[in-house]
């Protein structure tokens, strides 16, 4: 994505200082012509944001889908664009909301910077950090990286030139953090809480981040996308629902929103949770664990950091992206031999082989509500697999198998997110209500979550150092009867 042209505009609205601004125009494969405010362009041209060029949006999916080569960089620009389109639509449509141009700019910046904190292979890196820091989220690093970007590139004065003050920066960071409307305090725009639903909507998950990544991922994966985000923006209005101002849509848009969440489920089923993608992601995680102690990343003051501790220093974290895969794969360091061997298996397609999957029973689902329960279920399943193989005259051990628990839903576990959305009618656009079960379509889903237990064969032939295909063929028949 490159800037192709520009236009100069004189801005004399609610900003503190009227200034001449040059909007650069980007050409995006999803949204077409995307004009961006010069402050956003200034942020894009920082090392902290440019880092996103080198992180695949879908991580390990690129090893399964050749088209999934898009990065966090263009996704973030797309989110900034859609955030601006939605907030400007509300600004024009409902002047009584008192949405200022400064509000618009803050929302766009939040959309642009919401993914600054992602690490190599995105969500897989988050899982890696959880091994030492349970509960850590990339949004925490996004806030720290945003501060580092502003400070290290002298953006504070430039932001002031565009009228942004400390309260506005607080507002931007609150949107990046993605606070839930229930039980949270807001300092940036406490009188305009509906603005917090644009970039990261914690009420029902309907936000421009999802609009962009679903459209972008479907495009690059070659999967048809039925949800129309432009229709949502066209019909979006702020109405009071149970006394709280929320972003709502027309009552006739119910089916379009179900298409949104069905597309999300479809992409999880066919790509994000693809059986090969998940095993590749687990191998990358294993390689990161092996390499952690032997990779040194220089941070502020010359201090060295490991893979797992780079998040403690934003100067070090800025240098960490998907390139770490190649660094390990081609490293002559003998201490990285184990990690290197794992990654070699990925690029040579010598990964674990899928044996089959099954849906868990109700008792299993209850057991899996805790981390300990999940691990206990995996161990028990491995023992059952070994016993089944022994009954068939095959010699296997528990380490020959890998068991994955896959969870897919509409974003709110077993709940229907559409029931958290406000809908208004053509005859009364100022009043919105949430749907009841009776009012929802008879054709809507009745189940909003699904879990699968997958089994893989990972035994390596001692002679060839490749997956034991002879054993695989024998075990497949045996396992299929058990599953």
Active-site amino acid positions? 138
Radius of gyration, CA atoms only, the chain: 25
Token pair for residue 202? 């914690």
**Residues pairing with 163 in the sheet:** none
Burial of 219 (0-12, 13-18, 19+ CB in 10 A): middle
Phi, psi (degrees; rounded to nearest 5) at 331: -75, 135
H/E run at residue 474: helix 469-482
In sequence order, the β-bridge partners of residue 297 are: 305
Q: Helix (H, G, I), strand (E, B), or coil: what is residue 97?
A: helix
Rounded to whole angstroms, the Cα distance separating 268 from 227 reads 15
How many residues are recorded in the chain?
483
Distance CA 163, CA 115 (A): 24
d(CA 296, CA 40): 32
- The token duo for 174 is 């609150």
Sign of CA dihedral 156, 159, 161, 167: negative
Q: What CA–CA distances, in Å, run from 227 to 58, 210, 230, 231, 444?
A: 20, 11, 9, 9, 15
Closest alpha carbon to 267 in 228, 219, 229, 218: 218
Please say whether the beta carbons of 483 and 357 come within 8 A.
yes
Strand 244-250 relative to strand 422-424, pairing: parallel
User: Using CA atoms, how far apart are residues 475 and 392, in angstroms rounded to an integer?
Assistant: 9
Other CB atoms within 10 A of residue 303 CB:
14
Phi then psi for residue 263, to 5 deg, are -60, -40
CA 245 from centroid of its chain's CA atoms: 27
Helix 275-291 to helix 123-130 angle, to the nearest 10 degrees?
50
Alpha helices by DSSP H, listed for 314-398, are 314-318, 323-329, 337-347, 362-367, 371-391
Q: Could you tell me the end-to-end alpha-carbon distance of the chain, in angstroms, rounded to an integer?
A: 47
């Amino acid at each position: 994505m490159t800037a192709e042209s520009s236009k100069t505009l004189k801005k004399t609205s609610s900003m503190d200082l009227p200034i001449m601004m040059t909007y650069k125009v980007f050409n995006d494969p999803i949204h077409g012509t995307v004009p961006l405010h010069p402050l956003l362009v200034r942020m894009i041209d920082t090392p902290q944001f440019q880092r996103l060029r080198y992180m695949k949006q879908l991580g390990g999916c690129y090893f399964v889908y050749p088209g999934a080569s898009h990065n966090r960089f263009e996704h973030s620009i797309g989110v900034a664009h859609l955030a601006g389109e939605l907030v400007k639509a509300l600004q024009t449509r409902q002047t009584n909301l008192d949405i200022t141009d400064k509000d618009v700019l803050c929302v766009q910046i939040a959309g642009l910077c919401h993914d600054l904190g992602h690490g190599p292979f995105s969500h897989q890196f988050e899982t890696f950090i959880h091994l030492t820091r349970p509960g850590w989220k990339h949004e925490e690093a996004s806030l720290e990286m945003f501060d580092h970007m502003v400070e290290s590139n002298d953006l504070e004065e430039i932001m002031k030139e565009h009228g942004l003050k400390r309260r506005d920066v607080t507002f931007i960071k609150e949107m990046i953090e993605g606070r839930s409307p229930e039980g949270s305090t807001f300092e940036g725009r406490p009188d305009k809480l509906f603005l917090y639903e644009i970039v990261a909507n914690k009420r029902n998950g309907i936000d421009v981040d999802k609009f962009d990544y679903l459209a972008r991922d479907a495009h690059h994966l070659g999967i048809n996308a039925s949800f129309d985000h432009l229709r949502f923006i066209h019909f979006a209005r702020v109405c009071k629902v149970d006394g709280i101002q929320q972003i709502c849509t027309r009552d006739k848009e119910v089916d379009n929103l179900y298409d949104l969440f069905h597309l999300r489920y479809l992409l999880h089923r066919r790509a994000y949770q693809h059986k090969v993608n998940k095993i590749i992601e687990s191998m990358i995680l294993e390689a990161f664990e092996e390499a952690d102690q032997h990779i040194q990343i220089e941070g502020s003051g010359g201090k060295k950091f490991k893979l797992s501790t780079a998040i403690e220093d934003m100067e070090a974290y800025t240098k960490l992206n998907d390139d770490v895969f190649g660094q390990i794969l081609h490293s002559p360091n003998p201490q990285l031999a184990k990690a290197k061997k794992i990654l070699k298996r990925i690029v040579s397609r010598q990964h674990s082989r899928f044996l089959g999957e099954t849906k868990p029973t109700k008792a299993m689902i209850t057991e899996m509500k805790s981390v300990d329960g999940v691990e206990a279920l995996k161990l028990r399943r491995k023992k059952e697999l070994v016993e089944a193989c022994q009954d068939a005259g095959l010699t296997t051990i528990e380490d020959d198998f890998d068991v994955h628990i896959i969870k897919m839903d509409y974003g709110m576990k077993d709940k229907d997110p559409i029931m958290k959305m406000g809908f208004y009618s053509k005859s009364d656009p100022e009043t919105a209500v949430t749907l009841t079960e009776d009012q929802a379509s008879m054709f809507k889903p009745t189940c909003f979550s699904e879990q699968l237990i997958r089994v893989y064969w990972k035994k390596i032939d001692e002679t060839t150092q490749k997956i034991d295909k002879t054993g695989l063929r024998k075990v497949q028949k045996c396992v299929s009867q058990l599953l």
